Amino acid sequence: MSKLENKVALVTGASRGIGAAIAKRLAADGADVAITYAKDVKAAEAVVSAIEAIGRKAIAIQADAADSSAASAAVEQVVKQFGRVDVLVNNAGTAIPKPFEEATLEEIDRIIAINVRGVLVTTQAALKHMPHGGRIISIGSCVGERTMTPGLTAYAATKGAVKMFTQGLSREVGGRGITVNNVQPGPIDTDLNPASGDWAAPQLANTALNRYGHVDEVAALVAFVASPEAAYITGTNLTVDGGTNA
Ligand code: NDP
């Protein structure tokens, strides 16, 4: 039997990048998977088709993580369709790299709304429908613990919030057999952080392995944390960063 057979997973922000890799990997491990996305319906549909092609059920829901009503409505839609949420992966997130003093109030509000409020609201909605053995996995960042790249100050603050949210919530829901963990990627080659982008050089220089990571390397850690084998791992911040924070 596959590790996640008969499980329902919801991965937010999963039409591209790390989220898409996580959604496909959880499906490969046996889960039916719902994804959310903000704008790119075609990319979201391609992820759904890839999951269906391996014999699992999948749906894509348009829900901007910055919109609290849409975020909780997405969870309700998953429950209506699949009956529950066993695994929630809070992946939707964004960065607006620039010196902190130049960040506008609108940019600060947006990054907090997506990276922090979106995580809290989605988790609250999912917990209403999460059975014993459930998994809450948030995608934080290695800069949530230690930050060496200028321009990521506001972003790092939001990922630090995800870290403490994870630790706090693990103690509230542990009695229900639900684990809460924070997976913290380092530089991963995606549209958000291209290995060839302007911000790549200092990030690359900070890795021990002298390379950007691949989305599948993050998905592999998430899949392990989602699996029954990880039942005794909770309240942790698991870094997959090529040695950036070493
Ligand atoms: P990408 O920008 O490559 O992909 C983002 C995905 O999230 C897309 O599917 C996008 O959908 C969706 N999305 C964007 N904004 C929203 C929103 N407001 N509501 C719902 N969905 C949204 O990002 P990455 O894959 O690089 O990043 C994923 C997560 O990993 C983020 O939380 C990020 O902070 C974190 N991370 C990334 C690192 C990296 O180096 N790449 C390093 C550390 C952490 P659509 O196209 O429809 O907008």
- CB 25, CB 18: distance < 8 Å: no
Closest Cα to atom 11, ligand 1: which residue? 37
For ligand 1, whether the C-beta of 236 sits within 6 Å is no
185 Cα nearest atom in ligand 1: 43
- CB 62, CB 97: distance < 8 Å: no
State if pTM tops 0.75.
yes
Read off φ and ψ for residue 160, nearest 5 degrees: -65, -35
Among 141, 118, 170, which Cα is nearest to 238's?
141
For ligand 1, whether the C-beta of 40 sits within 6 Å is yes
* Tens digits of pLDDT across the chain (246 residues): 689 999 999 999 999 999 999 999 999 999 999 999 999 999 999 999 999 999 999 999 999 999 999 999 999 999 999 999 999 999 999 999 999 999 999 999 999 999 999 999 999 999 999 999 999 999 999 999 999 888 999 999 999 999 999 999 999 999 999 999 999 999 999 999 999 988 899 999 999 999 999 999 999 999 999 999 999 999 999 999 999 999
Kindly list the strands in the beta sheet with 58-62, ordered across the sheet, starting from the edge strand earlier in the chain.
58-62, 32-37, 8-11, 87-90, 135-139, 179-185, 237-240
The contacts of residue 15 (CB under 8 Å, 6+ apart) are: 35, 37, 40, 41, 43, 44, 46, 47, 60
Amino acid at 64: D
Q: Which CATH architecture has domain 8-240?
A: 3-Layer(aba) Sandwich (3.40)
Among 97, 55, 69, which Cα is nearest to 199's?
97
Instruction: State the chain's maximal CA–CA distance in angstroms.
Output: 53
CA 114 / ligand 1 centre spacing (Å): 10
CA 91 / ligand 1 centre spacing (Å): 7
Encoded tokens for 115: 């990276």
Q: Coil, strand, or helix at residue 66?
A: coil
CA 244 to chain centre: 19
For ligand 1, whether the C-beta of 93 sits within 6 Å is yes
Residue 69: count other Cβ atoms within 10 Å of its Cβ. 10
For ligand 1, whether the C-beta of 139 sits within 6 Å is yes
115 Cα nearest atom in ligand 1: 32
| Catalytic residue IDs | 155
* Total number of residues shown for the chain: 246
CA 62 / ligand 1 centre spacing (Å): 14
CA 221 / ligand 1 centre spacing (Å): 17
CA 137 / ligand 1 centre spacing (Å): 15
For ligand 1, whether the C-beta of 9 sits within 6 Å is no
Closest Cα to atom 13, ligand 1: which residue? 13
Closest Cα to atom 27, ligand 1: which residue? 18
